[in-house]
Structure 1
Amino acid sequence: MVLLVVIVTATLTYKRLDDFVSATTGRHINPIGEVVQAVEPSPGTIAYKLKHGQQVNILLLGRGGEENDAPYLTDSIMAVTIDPATNRVSMVSIPRDLVVGMNLQSNSSRIWVNKINAAYEVPLVSIICCVAAQYQGRDGPGLAAEHEVGKVTGLTFDRYIAVDFVAFRDMVNALGGVDVCLATNLDDNEYPDYHNGYVSLHFKAGCQHLNGEQALEIARSRHAIQPDQSSDFGRARRQQDIMQAIKKKATTVNGFSKAPQLLGALQKNINTDMSLSDMRAIYDWGKNLPDASIIRAALTAPSGAADGNLLDSYNCGMGPAVSQLCADDPSFGMIHRYIASLLIDPAVLGEKAPIQFANGANNYPGLDGRVTTMFDPTGLQLADPVGHGAIPQTQILDYSNGQFPLTSKWLAGFFGATVVPATAANPAPARGQQTYGLVVVIGHDFARHWLGQ
C-alpha cells in the first residue's frame, strides 16, 4: 500500500500532487523542504532510517468507511517492518477480534476493555470520555491505533496508513483488477451486503482475475464453509495475497499509466501521517523487492483447520456471548518475542538445518503444533511436530555433531534452552521423532513462558 501511494504520486503534476498530499496527510507540500530531505534526510525520518540501515515500522489499517454501519472500526490490521539491513519485510496480521485493555484516556490508568479494531474509532465517536490530547486531532485515530497495536506487537510505529473499503475497491478497479490465487474454494453464505443483510459468495480454487468488489469480498469474508478459509490465518493470508497482487500490478508499466484514476480512488478515502519524503524513500527502497523477501505471518487461534499459534478463543473481558480472541500471554510478552524474531538472520537460515519440535510439556498439550505453526513463515526447515515424554527444561538435541552452530545458538536463545549432543540411540527418541539435524524438546519452562507465567 505504501509503495502504491508513492507510485501514484510520482506520476502527477505538482498541483494534483499537492492536492493529493493535502487531502491524505493534512499538509501541503513544501518544495524546498522536500529537496532538503531528499539530499540529507533528518534523523528519525523514514528516509534517514532506510539510508542508515535502521528498521522502519508502519501500521496499515483497513476500515469500513461511510458505506459501512461501523465506518471507523478497522477490519484489517497489519504491522509492517522494513529491514534495510537484510533487504526484507515482515507483514504481521493482527485479528480484529483480539481483546486488549486500552488506555487512551487522559487518565492513562483508566482501562477500557474492547476489541483492538475499536482503537481507531475511539477519538472519532463518543464511546468513552476524556480521550487523551495526543489522540485527538486529524491523526488522533491513527496514533491511538498505533498505541494499542504497539502494546500487542512490541513495535514502535513510525507512521500509519488507514484506507477505507471505498478506496480499496476503487483502487483495484483503477488498476484494471488484480490476479489472486485461492488454495481452496471459498463459499460464504453470510457475507454482509450494503443494506444490513447478507449475500452468498462463491469463488473457486485457483488463480482468478478480480475486480474491486470481488477483491474486497475475498479480503473481508469471515464465514466461509471451508475451514481453511474461515480461520483467522486463512483470512490474513488472503488479505496479504491481495496486497501483494496490488503491489505487483501497480509497479508495472500499465500500473503507471493508471496514475490519474488511482489518485481519484485514494484521495478521498485514505488518511496517513506520512510525508512525501517518507513515501518516496519507501518507494526507492522497495520498488524492486522480490516477493521472496517478504515474510508474512499472522496471530491466530486454533481452528478446525489449523493449530493456531499465540491466541485462543474464550471470554477474556467481553462477555460469554461475544466472539473474541485472547492472547495466551496476557502481558503480550510472548507475542513481542515472536515478532522481534521473525526476521531471522540470513546466516542462520543459510545453514538449512532440519528442525523438529517435540512437546515435552505435559502442562500444555499441542504446544509443539502451535510452535511449528508460529515458525512456518520464517524460512526455517521444519518437520512435522511430535509428542515427547515430559521434561522440566527445554532442550535442543543436536544430532548433527555441531554441523549447525548458528541455528543451535539461535534456537537456544529463543527458547532459553540448553544444547545437548545426541545420537540415534541416546537419549531414546520419541515415537516419530527424527534423529538427525536439531530437535527442540519443549519443556514445562517454555510452556509457562508461553502463558506469561
Structure 2
Amino acid sequence: MEYRINLAPTTWPSDEKPQKKHGVVYKTIKFLTFCLVGLFILTWILSSQAVFSRGAFGQAIGRLPVISQFRIILGDEDNLAGAKDDRINFLLMGIGGAGHDGALLTDTVILGSLKLSTREAALVSIPRDLLVKIPDNGFQRINNASAYGDVNDYPDGGAALAAKTVADAFGVSVHYWLRIDFAGFRKVIDDLGGVDVVIDSDFVDEQYPTDDYKVQTISFTKGKEHMAGERALQFARSRHGNNGEGSDFARSKRQQKIIAAVKDKLWSWKIFLNPNKAYRIFEAAQDNIQTNVAAWEIPQLINLAEGIDFKNIKNYVLDDAPGGLLKSATTDEGAYVLVPKSGDYQDLQYFAQNIFTMKEIAEKNIRVIVANGTAVDGLATYLTASAETMGFKVERIANSANQNFEKTVIYDLSDGSEEEALKFLKNKFQAHTSKELPEFLVPLTYRQKENGETEKIEASFIIVAGYDRQDDIRAINEWRAKQEAMSQATSTNQINNN
C-alpha cells in the first residue's frame, strides 16, 4: 500500500481562514511557559546582582537557594582560595614534555598574584637556575622540582611539588598551579584559532632549538602578528634574540603578551558564546596539563580575569643584575646556580610578600636621593640599583660629607605624606629614620643644570648607606675579586700566547 503525503501548504481564501480554538490545556501550558521565561530572566538579573554587588541587597538575595546555584554558574570570586586575604597567587609552569631533552624540567616558572580589591596583577619570572630547597630532595635548581615530583609519585604530581617548593622559598601561599607542556601549548593556541600579538621590535634568534636537538633561525618583525601554536611557542621561548630580546626580562614580557592574547581570545564572542568549543579546547589538552583548578572554580577565575587590566601588569624578573636580588654561584659539584645575594631567602620572601606595595610605589613615582655614608666605594651605586628594583626613582647618587655612618638612615623630606613608602624602606633596609636633615646633607638636595644654574631636587627621601650594609659590602668585594681574577687570567693568557 502506498501512502502519498501532500507537502504543499493548504491555501485558503483570505476571508475564509479557519479560526483556531485553543483549549484549557494549551492556554495553561502557554501561561506556564511565560512564567518560566520570566522567572529565568528575573533569576539571572538577581543572580548577577548577587554575584557582582557588594551592597546589602546583593548580599541578601545571594542567600536564596536558587540564587546560590546561579552564583556558582556566573562565578563568585569570594569562593576562591586566597579571596579572604584579598590576594590569589598562582604558579604557571612550562615543560618540554615527551620528545624533548629534560622533558620534565620546567623551562618557564612564573609566580603570579591577583589583588581582588583593586583588580591589580603582578608576574614574577623565576629563573630555572635558582637554588632552592625541594622537599625531601635537598637544595637543587628550582626547575628540578617538577621532575622529582613526577618521578617519585608526589601527591597530585610534579606540578604540586613545584608549587610547594615555590611557596616555601618565597613565603607565600600558592593557591593555584598549572603546568603545560609544549604540545599542549600548541594545541590550545591552535584550537583557539591562533592569537593576535603585538611585537614591540624586530629581532632574530639564530639559536632556537629544534625537536631533533639542533638549532634553527627564527625572526619576528615589529607590528601585529596573528600567531598559530608553533609560532606563539617560538615567540614565548626565544632566549637568544638580538635587538634587546635576548634577556630573561624581554622573554618574560613576551610570555606576558601571550597570556594576555589568550585571555582576550577566550573572551571573544566566538568562544564565549560557544561553550562546546571552549570545552573541546581544554579537553584536547588535558593530557598535557597538570592543574589543581577544580571545574567549579573555572567560572570564578574567568570572571576574575575579565576584570584584570593585563596591559598594566607589573612584570618582575629575578636575576643577578646590579641591584638584583640574586647572584651567581657554583655548587660543590661545579654546577652554575643563582642564590640570594644576601645569602638569606628572607629577601626573596619580603619581595614576594610586598609585591603590590612596590607596584604602588612605582606608579606614584616616588623620588629619592641615595648617598654613601661610608668609605666603601660603590655602596651608594649598589643601593641605588636595589631602590630602583623596588620601584623608587633615584634622582641623585652622591657621597656624604660625613662618611662614618654605622647605621643606614632614611631622612623623610615628604612631611609625612609618604608614610607607607617610608615604612617599606625602613623594613627593607632595617634602617633608622629621621625627619631632621643634618646641615652637611642639605647640599645633596641641589644639583647643577647644564646651563650652570642650580635647582632644588624634589625628593621624598634621602637614603644614606651605612656600614651595617654588610651583605652589600660583601657582594661588592666578591664582584671586585671576580673582576680582578678575570683580568689576571686574561693577562696570563696574553703572556702565554706571546
Is the TM value for this pair above 0.5? yes
Question: Does 2:418 match 1:410?
Answer: no
From the CA coordinates, give the structure whose radius of gyration is larger: 2
Give 1:193 shift: 0.1
Question: Does 2:399 match 1:388?
Answer: yes
Q: Which residue matches 2:121?
A: 89
1:399 to 397, 409, 413: 413
Give 1:260 shift: 5.0
Counterpart residue identity of residue 386, structure 1: I
Q: Which residue matches 2:468?
A: 445
Change (3 A) 1:38 1:448: same
Q: Which residue matches 1:136?
A: 154
Q: 2:440 & 2:271 partners in 1: Cα distance?
A: 59
Q: Which residue matches 2:265?
A: 249
Q: Which residue matches 2:102?
A: 70
SS of the residue 1:282 aligns to: helix
Q: Is the 8 A contact 1:53 1:84 kept in 2?
A: no
Q: Which residue matches 2:58?
A: none
Q: Is the 8 A contact 1:351 1:404 kept in 2?
A: no
Change (3 A) 1:36 1:400: closer
Q: 1:269 & 1:343 partners in 2: Cα distance?
A: 32
Q: Is the 8 A contact 1:74 1:120 kept in 2?
A: yes
Question: Does 2:181 match 1:155?
Answer: no
Q: 2:423 & 2:415 partners in 1: Cα distance?
A: 14
Change (3 A) 1:331 1:276: same
Higher RCO (C-alpha 8 Å, min separation 6): 1
Q: 1:370 & 1:384 partners in 2: Cα distance?
A: 12
Give 1:436 shift: 2.0
Q: 1:310 & 1:407 partners in 2: Cα distance?
A: 19
Change (3 A) 1:51 1:198: closer
Q: Which residue matches 2:246?
A: 230
Q: Is the 8 A contact 1:90 1:343 kept in 2?
A: yes
Q: Is the 8 A contact 1:53 1:83 kept in 2?
A: no
Give 1:297 shift: 1.3
Counterpart residue identity of residue 348, structure 2: I
Q: Which residue matches 1:119?
A: 145
Deviations 1:177-220 (A, max 9, x none): 22333444332221110001111122234443322212111211
Q: Is the 8 A contact 1:314 1:324 kept in 2?
A: yes
Give the TM-score normalised by structure 2: 0.68
Q: 2:316 & 2:359 partners in 1: Cα distance?
A: 18
1:240 to 245, 253, 256: 256
Q: 1:207 & 1:358 partners in 2: Cα distance?
A: 45
Question: Does 2:436 match 1:436?
Answer: no
Question: Does 2:192 match 1:192?
Answer: no
Deviations 1:337-369 (A, max 9, x none): 111111118987786533354555737654235
Q: 1:206 & 1:93 partners in 2: Cα distance?
A: 25
SS of the residue 1:91 aligns to: strand
Q: Is the 8 A contact 2:119 2:307 kept in 1?
A: no
Give the TM-score normalised by structure 1: 0.74
SS of the residue 1:60 aligns to: strand
Higher mean C-alpha deviation, range 149-158 or range 181-190:
181-190
Q: Is the 8 A contact 1:355 1:437 kept in 2?
A: yes
Q: Which residue matches 2:197?
A: 180
Question: Does 2:302 match 1:283?
Answer: yes
Deviations 1:88-139 (A, max 9, x none): 222211011212243325xxxxx2x4321110001333xxxxx5xxx624x1
Give 1:278 shift: 2.5
Q: 2:474 & 2:85 partners in 1: Cα distance?
A: 34
Q: 1:331 & 1:392 partners in 2: Cα distance?
A: 21
Higher mean C-alpha deviation, range 442-451 or range 209-218:
442-451
Q: 1:372 & 1:435 partners in 2: Cα distance?
A: 17
Q: Which residue matches 2:19?
A: none
Deviations 1:369-422 (A, max 9, x none): 53144224xxx5x24563534543222233344443443333333332213444
Structure 1 gaps of 5+ residues are: 1-31, 106-110, 126-130
1:353 to 346, 366, 371: 366
Higher mean C-alpha deviation, range 69-78 or range 276-285:
276-285
Higher mean C-alpha deviation, range 357-366 or range 239-248:
357-366
Q: Which residue matches 1:23?
A: none
Change (3 A) 1:405 1:159: closer
Say how many residue pairs are matched: 391
